[in-house]
Amino acid sequence: MGEGFVYALIEAMMAGLPVVATRVGWGPELVEDGVTGFLVPPRDPDALAKALQKLITDPELRRCMGRASRERALKEFTLSRMLQETERVYEEVLTRGYIRRF
């Protein structure tokens, strides 16, 4: 899954849309299967069609998953969260002595 595709998934989630993605790359990291969308096996067009059909035919499921998707994106994938996690990693590297402080 390319970097641009990851951003497309996050943008869809921020827009309150349920996501259908494959169980490879960042799909499992971003999508909580059955909660924020569906994860399907790679190269399985039948599974993809089935997941999309569920969302198309069930507006309440679509709304619930979309709401959960947005909540997850706002909690996990914001710039603020990314900066906090980056700072946490740097602090961990520094405190464990992997690199010297200058």
Q: What would the pLDDT profile of 40-96 be if each residue is shown by its tens digit?
A: 999 999 999 999 999 999 999 999 999 999 999 999 999 999 899 999 999 988 888
Report the alpha-carbon distance of residue 91 to residue 59 in Å, rounded. 45
Q: What would the pLDDT profile of 10-50 be if each residue is shown by its tens digit?
A: 999 999 999 999 999 999 999 999 999 999 999 999 999 99
Position 98 scores a pLDDT of 67
Report the alpha-carbon distance of residue 2 to residue 63 in Å, rounded. 27
Structure tokens at 52: 């999309």
